Amino acid sequence: MMSSPLVPAEPAEAGDGTPYSTTYDDVYHAAHGALAQARHVFLAGNDLPQRWNGVDSFVICETGFGLGLNFLATWQAWRESKAGGRLHFVSVEKHPFRREDLAGLLAPHLELAPLAGELLRQWPLLVPGFHRLHFDDGKVTLTLLLGDAQALLPQLAAGADAVYLDGFAPSKNPELWSPALIMAITRLAKPRAMLATWSVVGELRRTLERAGWDLKRRPGFAPKREMLVGRLENAVTCPRSGVPGTQSAPAPTFRLSQPPQERRAIVIGAGLAGAAISERLANRGWQVELFERHAAPAQEASGNPAGILLPHLAKDDALAARLSRACYLYALRRFADLTAVRWSPCGVLQVARDAAHEELQRATVQQLKLPDDFCVFLEHNAARTLIGRELAHGGWWFPGGGWVNPGSLCAALLAACGEHVRPHFGTEVGSLRRTAEGWQALDANGQLLAGAPHVILANAHAANRLLSDALPLTSIRGQISYLPDQLLEGTGPPLHHVVCRSGYITPPDAGTVCVGASFDSGDSDLRIRAADHAGNLRRLEELLPGTLHGIDLVGVDAVRLEGRVGLRTASRDRLPLVGTLPDTDAVAVSAATLDSLPRRHGLHALLGLSARGLVWAPLAAELLASQLEGDPLPIERELARAVDPARFHLRALRRGHN
């Protein structure tokens, strides 16, 4: 499903100064006060804050984010009620405001200024899809679905305790109040969830009642005499909506897990994947036993001095590209929030391989219509001016991309865990054993190391040593070269940005100028090779022509270079493995789905990050933690299915190979 480009909302005012939409010819809120309306209609209409007191987690789904005032009023009430759990607020918006426009619209609401400032600081780039934002140290989470509600809400996996049915008037924006959309909202609601809306039009009432909502009228806000509240008493679960002349979306095939009875886990591996999932679980109050066979974290593929951070683009906006975009944007927000991470959003230029690829890059940007602060195509002269050196072609410019020191990221993630994570460095898990209580990790001699209801494999290529049925993972050897400063002296102005093509180079600001990298599938040799240094230098010369003019690329210069070798691990389809592992010994039919496939309860994977661990790891960890906790998922269901580790087993079943 290709995402439609977003069309941002343009700020305008009605005659009385109320924010107004020229697209829908309607105001964003009542003239008598947006906050008073939010509190009367949506908070009081859902019996809040009373209903969230004493719960571990409370989920609100909203149609129509608009100015975000319903969210801000809810967040303020959550703070003031001193609720001890976690608030998830999920909202969809087809025409979001640009950050600077939203700032101006929120400025008059002085009592919300601190919260509005936090929202604006994290306000996402306006690209379609799911965007997850964390506030109050993760106690409040906002998941923004930017795009058409009719396409995105069926992709949401969440269990709503309360629904804010908002948006422009049904007569102005009928799609947001359609029977199909009401059914999509209803399927997201938990039994006995509540709903509130300012609209009382007859067709809406009848649609809600047919969907299973028990409705009542309450006094409305300001000039509106009445409003509607409802409780889900008898939800319609059949594939059809039950509304004459309509056909709803198929029933969801992705079920959220129930919140765990015990929040304890064993994590194996303390690289990017292991550190990221440990931190996400710790943030949710889990106790984690973290095992790493090396004496410190980030000693294997995560141990390079610098890695580059940029998304993958595709002209057809294919699934992998949409997933990469979501991961990239989430990673940028997480790195900005973590202290002590050595990184720089200095910008990345991805130079085209040749003239044909240059044309594809240009056409991709034109097709996707992504905002300039996400990606632009720079023609050859503009790219050369930006970098200050000779280039063969133009390329994609990602102004928010950059370089990251993976070791500092791992350290920052583990530091954020506090006492929730107990690390065991220099301790290798030799085997796993399933018990009635969950799982046990044993050493090479069969001695018990730890037990917990959940085990998460985050140990890359070593994961298959612990499994009876191997996952389709391949080791990919990568060697980087450290470029001495004197080798670049006199060849041009200093580099201030990351430049990449088939290879890449990081700027001196990264501490070590890294050039890389080789990519040898199935090769697990960890020795430095002079031939691979020479290969990296050749890639650098292709990237920045003339930089190494006169240097013997296969001789002594390559031998004298220092560098590092790491083993990345990739799956067969080059997407990560995130989720609960399949039970390949259980009986399953070829008609099984990912939802019905038997699983190894309590055994999970965060593997196959390949060469994009810095991009994949943060959101992959948030996805897995959300699955384990029963939280709303941070990405579309189809993207979650795409990284499900059971996908390969399911394909084998469908081919008739058990």
424 and 540 share one domain: no
- The model's pLDDT over 97-130, given as tens digits with 9 standing for 90+, comes to 999 999 999 999 999 999 999 999 999 999 999 9
Look at residue 252 in the predicted model and tell me its pLDDT: 41
In a domain, 62, yes or no: yes
- The model's pLDDT over 177-222, given as tens digits with 9 standing for 90+, comes to 999 999 999 999 999 999 999 999 999 999 999 999 999 999 999 8
In a domain, 247, yes or no: no
Residue 557, Ramachandran bin (φ over 0: left; ψ between -120 and 50: alpha; else beta): alpha
Rounded mean pLDDT, 406-418:
97
pTM of the model: 0.95
In a domain, 596, yes or no: yes
Roughly what angle, to the nearest 10 degrees, separates helices 406-416 and 613-629? 20
Of 571, 600, 621, the residue that ends a domain is 571
Rounded mean pLDDT, 517-529:
91
464 and 516 share one domain: no
Instruction: Count the neighbouring beta carbons within 10 Å of the beta carbon of residue 264.
Output: 17
126 and 40 share one domain: yes
Q: Of 617, 630, 620, which is closest to residue 307 (Cα–Cα)?
A: 617
Rounded mean pLDDT, 314-326:
96
| Model confidence band, residue 489 (pLDDT cutoffs 50, 70, 90) | low
In a domain, 44, yes or no: yes
- The model's pLDDT over 140-159, given as tens digits with 9 standing for 90+, comes to 999 999 999 999 999 999 99
- Whether the per-residue pLDDT at 554 is higher than 80: the answer is no
User: Are the beta carbons of 657 and 20 closer than 8 angstroms?
Assistant: no
Per-residue DSSP letters for 533-579? HHHHHHHHHHHSTTTTTT--TTSHHHHH-EEEEEEEEEETTS--EEE
The Cα–Cα gap between 483 and 537 comes to: 9
Positive or negative: CA dihedral 646, 652, 655, 658: negative
Look at residue 248 in the predicted model and tell me its pLDDT: 37
The domain that holds 291 is classified in CATH as 3.50.50.60
**pLDDT cut 70: percent of the chain above it:** 93
Q: Which of 15-19, 531-535, 551-555, 583-587 is the least confident region? A: 551-555
**pLDDT cut 90: percent of the chain above it:** 80
- What value does the mean pLDDT of the chain take? 92
DSSP bridge pairs for 403: 308, 344
Look at residue 550 in the predicted model and tell me its pLDDT: 53
In a domain, 7, yes or no: no
- The model's pLDDT over 34-93, given as tens digits with 9 standing for 90+, comes to 899 999 999 999 999 999 999 999 999 999 999 999 999 999 999 999 988 999 999 999
537 and 492 share one domain: yes
The domain that holds 541 is classified in CATH as 3.30.9.10
The domain that holds 82 is classified in CATH as 3.40.50.150
563 and 429 share one domain: no
Q: How many domains does the chain have?
A: 3
In a domain, 47, yes or no: yes
| Model confidence band, residue 256 (pLDDT cutoffs 50, 70, 90) | low
Of 571, 592, 615, the residue that ends a domain is 571
425 and 487 share one domain: no
- The model's pLDDT over 558-584, given as tens digits with 9 standing for 90+, comes to 667 899 999 999 999 999 999 999 999
In a domain, 329, yes or no: no
603 and 567 share one domain: no
Task: Give the SS3 label for residue 505.
Answer: strand
603 and 648 share one domain: yes
176 and 200 share one domain: yes
In a domain, 102, yes or no: yes
Domain of residue 287, residue span: 264-300+407-472+572-654
- Whether the per-residue pLDDT at 597 is higher than 50: the answer is yes
493 and 588 share one domain: no
426 and 464 share one domain: yes
Of 520, 538, 571, the residue that ends a domain is 571
395 and 434 share one domain: no
